[in-house]
Amino acid sequence: MMAKYLLLKHYRGGPTPVNDVPMEAWTEEEIAAHMRYMHEFAARLEGTGEFVDGQALSLEGTFVRYDGEGRPPVTDGPFAETKDLIAGWFVIDVDSYDRAVELAGELSAAPGAGGKPIHEWLEVRPFLTAPPIVTE
Amino acid sequence: VTSVEEHRLRALTPSVIGVLVRRGADFAAAEDAVQDALVEAVRLWATEPPRDPKGWLVTVAWRKFLDASRADASRRRREELAEEQPAPGPGASVDDTLQLYFLCAHPSLTPASAVALTLRAVGGLSTRQIAQAYLVPEATMAQRISRAKKTVSDVRFDQPGDVATVLRVLYLVFNEGYSGDLDLAAEAIRLTRQLAAVIDHEEVAGLLALMLLHHARRSARTRADGSLVPLAQQDRNLWDTRLIAEGVEVLQTVLARDRIGEFQAQAAIAALHADARTAEETDWVQIVGWYDELVRLTDSPVVRLNRAVAVGEADGPRAGLAAVAKLDPTLPRHAAVAAYLHERDGDVAIAARLYAEAARQASNIQERDHLTRQAARLNDGRRG
């Protein structure tokens, strides 16, 4: 039955992608082709009834933590050399784990430098669900 | 429109779609037209309830269908068909309803598509309600339903279907456990009752009994904070005795026919739990017997794992662990079952480790939290 998965795009932290050229070194046309591929991927998911959410995150963020009663939260960063940077995600609702992996594979084929697939590593994480009613 | 009236209104959905299809509308267009008519009914019936609700819906839905197909090139053909169609006979409504269950659970559909289509075309729910219940955007659910309609567009409406596929869909709706404004468990029970009214089949009765007996425990199943209460710890005074009585009666009637299927066997297990006034009074020996039956019927590893729990209760934790040892350790909830049996066997250290492992593997939040608490309880006890 349907299950939701997060397809998480890390910019750093995972294994090094095959086509590992930073985006600022691409041509404008290559960047446009990459963006077009992402939009088409989202549109295709909407068409198949598997799309739940897709978001891109600002590359710079702030770390925040509680600092005790009556004190404002402590903030830190942004850090230039964050080890693992989350760039964005898709949330999909699919019939099987295999389908989630298949879609992640498609997303990872987005074109990069030289118009060739970037072979980017994506992390596939299942959502926790509500408990089933019949368990015995 | 109150919820009782809304249920009565939605119950008319499949037979009204059936009338339109018999008049020559294709299923997809008929279904859309009836949805539009339902929206209008909700708006108008509050002040002006019609004397003949079904007749009203047929008239309005047919008008909507003609409006929608007016722009269509095949309009003339459809209108001619409408002229030719004889009025539906007395049995038509029952047959139409059953045919719609078959069509919406057609084997060419994925389970998720069959669920969505069933809730809309048989249940009369709107795409928005279904999308909210399954936590996806409305546009996504609309696409899923529209693709499902395309998938079954070549299926002949009067083609006989398989009850087993329908029951699997209804079981999924019941068991998914998602909740929002829409009570999917109650909706599944309504649809299964409606199915039981149009077809005499042992497993339909079995599934209905199963749903009623589990639904009866609903208030006891979770605490106010949403956490799970295991069956053995549930306050049995909170169980709904009216639902239990109905479930047991449906089950006993059908068991007497001696045509056992998996839903009847599962319902029998639920009935034995319902029969025990305290967890200690549970007749585990009989429950193991029903699990043996279920293993024979399904040969499912998940059933074997649940059987091991029952064996642990009937013959002691060592016997349960011996049964677990024969099963694939990658089975979902394998570690959770082993943890429970080891704890009962007095092996607290192993149990705590297995509970923590089971929590990491859990596929739902409540179970993960429950298992984490079990591990914490045992670790705490060992420190103290």
Task: List all residues 6 or more positions away from A127 whose beta carbon is below 8 Å from its beta carbon.
Answer: A3, A4, A5, A6, A91
Chain A nearest-CA residue for B221: A133
Query: Which residues partner with A124 through β-bridges?
Result: A7
What is the pLDDT, as a whole number, of residue A82? Answer: 61
- Residues from B contacting A (CB-CB < 8 Å) are 110-113, 115, 134-137, 139-145, 147, 172, 174-179, 185, 210, 214-215, 221, 228, 231, 266, 269-270, 273, 306, 309, 362-368
What is the pLDDT, as a whole number, of residue B12? Answer: 94
CA atoms of B16 and B9, how far apart (whole Å): 11
Task: List all residues 6 or more positions away from B179 whose beta carbon is below 8 Å from its beta carbon.
Answer: A130, B133
Identify the residue with better confidence: B42 or A104: A104
Tokens of B94: 């029952």
% of chain A at pLDDT higher than 90: 60
What is the pLDDT, as a whole number, of residue B87? Answer: 53
Nearest alpha carbon to residue B80 among B154, B25, B5: B25
Average model confidence (pLDDT) across chain A: 90
Inspect the interface and report whether the beta carbons of A132 and B175 lie closer than 8 Å: yes
CB B121 within 8 A of CB B104: yes
Distance from the Cα of B362 to chain A's closest Cα (Å) equals: 8
Strands A51-56 and A122-126: unpaired
DSSP codes joined into one string, B165-185: HHHHHHHHHHHS---SSS-HH
Amino acid identity, position A135: T
Inspect the interface and report whether the beta carbons of B362 and A50 lie closer than 8 Å: no
Q: What is the pLDDT of residues A48-86, one digit of tens each?
A: 999 999 999 988 888 999 999 999 999 988 776 666 778
Nearest alpha carbon to residue B323 among B331, B332, B312, B314: B312
CA atoms of B97 and B77, how far apart (whole Å): 26
Chain A nearest-CA residue for B145: A49
CA atoms of B185 and A130, how far apart (whole Å): 13
Average pLDDT over residues A18-29: 87
What is the pLDDT, as a whole number, of residue B322? Answer: 98
Band of residue A87 on the pLDDT scale cut at 50, 70, 90: confident
CB B141 within 8 A of CB B131: yes
Q: Is A136 on the interface with B (CB under 8 A)?
A: yes
Distance from the Cα of A4 to chain B's closest Cα (Å) equals: 9
Q: Could you give the angle at the alpha carbon of B94 between the alpha carbons of B92 and B96, nearest 5°? A: 65
Q: What is the number of other CB atoms lying within 10 angstroms of the CB of residue B87?
A: 8
Q: Is A131 on the interface with B (CB under 8 A)?
A: yes
What is the pLDDT, as a whole number, of residue A136? Answer: 83
Q: Is A18 on the interface with B (CB under 8 A)?
A: no
Mutate to test the interface with A, among B108, B109, B110 (most CBs of A within 10 A): B110
What is the pLDDT, as a whole number, of residue A32? Answer: 94
Inspect the interface and report whether the beta carbons of B134 and A47 lie closer than 8 Å: no
CB B201 within 8 A of CB B163: yes
How many helices (H) and strands (E) chain B has is answered by 21, 0
pLDDT in tens, chain B (384 residues): 567 778 888 999 999 999 999 999 999 999 999 999 999 998 888 888 888 999 999 999 999 999 998 767 665 666 566 555 555 554 567 788 999 999 999 999 999 999 999 999 999 999 999 999 999 999 999 999 999 999 999 998 878 889 999 999 999 999 986 666 788 999 999 999 999 999 999 999 999 999 999 999 999 999 999 889 999 999 999 999 999 999 999 999 999 999 999 999 999 999 999 999 999 999 999 999 999 999 999 999 999 999 999 999 999 999 999 999 999 999 999 999 999 999 999 999 999 999 999 999 999 999 999 999 999 999 998 776
Which residues in chain A have Cβ-Cβ distances shorter than 8 Å to B141?
49
Inspect the interface and report whether the beta carbons of B140 and A1 lie closer than 8 Å: no
Distance of CA B380 to the CA centre of its chain: 39
CB B13 within 8 A of CB B121: yes
Inspect the interface and report whether the beta carbons of B135 and A1 lie closer than 8 Å: no
What is the pLDDT, as a whole number, of residue B79? Answer: 59
Q: Is A49 on the interface with B (CB under 8 A)?
A: yes
